[in-house]
């Protein structure tokens, strides 16, 4: 097996081949060390074509396409500053709240059957989770991504522009929700939970309260 | 058994080589030994169902080896596996297409209650919410022996069905429904989420866990 180029080297190759492509290397701290490349949406299709066709990479197989939901998060930062108030120097904590907007992410695991190397992990991010949840479809590059992008659309609501047949695949067509999103609320069908515990118990009790006493 | 005949006299006669029976016994004996299941499976339980029908467990011993590919020729629906919400209308429709008398076995934890997928967004919490289930077989999946046991329970149920009187089965009651409403795909869930004619949650005093 040929050693695949490091992700840094691949990033340089892409940047050399596709001018203007904005790539970011996201390192993974876990023992698997599966670092990934974050690609900007405007150049994603060109980057994908390059990864498939570059002779040193030949990523001809999109093994897996999946979605990730990043809800909006607020992080608090405390900065301790020294201020002089009434001639006395005091330490004052300034708390600043930072809102990180939520977004959806599509992750592609690419392999090369030709060179027997991989995985190369590609990430695409939407602008937000509600209105602009668009991503370019990579199905024109890897036909095998078609059903998996449909699945990501079905369960996360990522709209893949350029997908040949973007319909729901697991849920039915009239279904309105995106069940794998963090804020999905399942229908309240907890009328009979014979062995309820933890979260299910809480929901069953909630259902009982909604129903009222019989 | 024959209600109009003394049991002692009956056994005495049989010792003399004279067998007496009733139309009801004969009819049910024939029915219970030629139950033809509908050949359809939904998940891993179907593998066990197939194993039960093959040589090692040999469902043919009970006259039920003829898995019919058409619901029009089937008497028994073995709901073998997870019923997803997307599949539930098709399962109910298949049941509706079967001619009376017809029976349902819910095989495995999923068909009974949703099983390990019970709280999932896509899994029905038991096929008994839409269909009248005659026999429930627990297990995940149930072994073929369990299916055979469940099948023998069904045979006993058929054997005990009266042809007349208030205890006669559904297919002999003219007003009783033979078809059940097919649930529709709604924006968030199946509509209705259950058929109240068939299934009602047990009354609240029987739910100690959710006090």
List, for residues A121-144, the tens digit of each pLDDT value: 999 999 888 777 899 999 999 999
Report d(CA B48, CA B144) in Å as an integer. Answer: 6
Residues with Cβ within 8 Å of B65's Cβ and at least 6 positions away in sequence, in order, are B53, B58, B59
One domain, residues A116 and A204: no
- Asked whether residue B159 is assigned to any structural domain, the reply reads yes
Among B118, B210, B211, pick the best mutation site for testing chain A contact (most A Cβ within 10 A).
B210
pLDDT tens by residue, A40-83:
999 999 999 999 999 988 999 999 999 999 988 888 888 877 77
- Asked whether residue B11 is assigned to any structural domain, the reply reads no
Report d(CA A199, CA A195) in Å as an integer. Answer: 12
One domain, residues A197 and A214: yes
Report d(CA A19, CA B63) in Å as an integer. Answer: 73
DSSP string for residues in B99-137:
PSS-EEEEEHHHHHH-GGGTTSTTB-S-GGGTS--SEEE
Q: For residue B3, what pLDDT is reported?
A: 59
Among A193, A197, A208, pick the best mutation site for testing chain B contact (most B Cβ within 10 A).
A193
Between positions 141 and 170 of A, the ones with CB within 8 A of B are 170
The distance of B49 to chain A (nearest Cα, Å) reads 25
Q: For residue A148, what pLDDT is reported?
A: 94
One domain, residues A200 and A179: no
Q: Which of A15, A16, A20 is nearest to A42 (CA)?
A: A20
One domain, residues A211 and A111: no
Query: Is A122 in a helix, a strand, or coil?
Result: strand
pLDDT tens by residue, B29-81:
999 999 999 988 999 999 999 999 999 999 999 988 889 999 999 999 999 99
Q: Say if residue B19's pLDDT is above 90.
A: no
- Asked whether residue B4 is assigned to any structural domain, the reply reads no
- Asked whether residue A82 is assigned to any structural domain, the reply reads no
One domain, residues A120 and A56: yes
- Asked whether residue B38 is assigned to any structural domain, the reply reads yes
- Asked whether residue A193 is assigned to any structural domain, the reply reads yes
Q: Is the ipTM of this complex over 0.90?
A: no
- Asked whether residue B211 is assigned to any structural domain, the reply reads no
Asked if B208 is an interface residue toward chain A (Cβ–Cβ < 8 A), one would say no
- Asked whether residue A90 is assigned to any structural domain, the reply reads no
- Asked whether residue A62 is assigned to any structural domain, the reply reads yes
- Asked whether residue B152 is assigned to any structural domain, the reply reads yes
Asked if B201 is an interface residue toward chain A (Cβ–Cβ < 8 A), one would say yes
Domain that holds residue A202: 186-214
Q: Which chain A residues have a beta carbon less than 8 Å from that of B136? A: none
The distance of B9 to chain A (nearest Cα, Å) reads 50
- Across the A:B interface, residue pairs with CB atoms under 8 Å apart total 55
One domain, residues A64 and A21: yes
One domain, residues A109 and A211: no
- CATH number of the domain bearing residue B82: 3.40.50.12280
- Asked whether residue A152 is assigned to any structural domain, the reply reads yes
Query: Which whole-number Å values give the CA distances from B2 to A23, A99, B6, B22, B23, in the listed order?
Result: 85, 80, 8, 6, 9
One domain, residues A130 and A209: no
> What's the total number of domains in chain A?
2
- Asked whether residue A161 is assigned to any structural domain, the reply reads yes
> Looking at chain A, which residue has its C-alpha nearest residue B85?
A171
Domain that holds residue B115: 22-164+181-206
> What's the total number of domains in chain B?
1
DSSP string for residues in A156-185:
H--EEET-TT---SSS-TT----TTSTT--
- Asked whether residue B128 is assigned to any structural domain, the reply reads yes
One domain, residues A211 and A109: no
The distance of A171 to chain B (nearest Cα, Å) reads 7
One domain, residues A178 and A194: no
Residues with Cβ within 8 Å of B116's Cβ and at least 6 positions away in sequence, in order, are B109, B110, B140
Which of A56-70, A100-114, B165-179 shows the lowest per-residue confidence on average (mean pLDDT)? B165-179
One domain, residues A158 and A123: yes
The distance of A94 to chain B (nearest Cα, Å) reads 43
- Asked whether residue B170 is assigned to any structural domain, the reply reads no
One domain, residues A175 and A114: yes
């Amino acid at each position: 097996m040929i050693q695949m180029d490091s992700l840094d080297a691949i990033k340089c190759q892409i940047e050399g081949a596709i001018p203007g492509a904005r790539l970011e290397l996201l390192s993974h701290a876990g023992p698997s060390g599966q670092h990934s490349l974050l690609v900007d949406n405007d150049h994603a299709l060109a980057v994908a074509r390059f990864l498939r066709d570059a002779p040193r990479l030949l990523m001809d197989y999109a093994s897996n396409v999946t979605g990730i939901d990043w809800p909006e998060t607020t992080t608090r930062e405390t900065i301790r500053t020294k201020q002089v108030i009434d001639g006395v120097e005091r330490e004052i904590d300034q708390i600043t709240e930072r809102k990180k907007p939520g977004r959806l992410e599509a992750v592609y695991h690419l392999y090369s059957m030709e060179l027997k190397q991989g995985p190369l992990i590609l990430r695409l991010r939407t602008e937000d989770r509600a209105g602009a949840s668009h991503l370019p479809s990579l199905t024109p590059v890897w036909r095998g991504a078609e059903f998996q992008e449909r699945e990501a659309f079905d369960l996360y609501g990522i709209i893949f522009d350029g997908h040949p047949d973007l319909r729901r695949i697991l849920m039915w067509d009239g279904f309105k929700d995106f069940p794998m999103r963090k804020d999905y609320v399942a229908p309240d069908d907890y009328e009979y939970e014979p062995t309820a515990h933890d979260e299910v118990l809480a929901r069953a009790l909630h259902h009982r309260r909604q129903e009222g006493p019989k | 058994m024959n209600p109009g005949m003394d049991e002692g006299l009956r056994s005495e006669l049989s010792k003399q080589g004279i067998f007496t029976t009733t139309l009801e016994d004969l009819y049910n004996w024939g029915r219970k030994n030629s139950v033809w299941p509908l050949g359809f499976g939904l998940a891993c339980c179907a593998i066990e169902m197939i194993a039960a029908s093959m040589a090692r467990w040999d469902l043919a011993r009970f006259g039920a080896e003829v898995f019919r590919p058409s619901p029009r020729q089937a008497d028994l629906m073995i709901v073998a596996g997870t019923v997803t919400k997307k599949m539930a209308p098709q399962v109910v429709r298949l049941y509706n297409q079967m001619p009376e008398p017809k029976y349902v076995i819910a095989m495995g934890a999923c068909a009974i209650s949703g099983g390990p997928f019970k709280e999932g967004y896509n899994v029905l919490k038991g096929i008994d919410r839409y269909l009248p289930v005659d026999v429930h077989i627990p297990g995940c999946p149930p072994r073929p022996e369990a299916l055979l046991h469940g099948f023998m329970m069904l045979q006993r149920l058929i054997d005990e069905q009266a042809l007349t009187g208030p205890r006669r089965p559904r297919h002999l009651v003219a007003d009783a429904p033979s078809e059940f409403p097919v649930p529709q795909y709604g924006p968030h869930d199946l509509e209705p989420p259950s058929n109240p004619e068939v299934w009602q949650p047990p009354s609240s005093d029987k739910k100690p866990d959710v006090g």
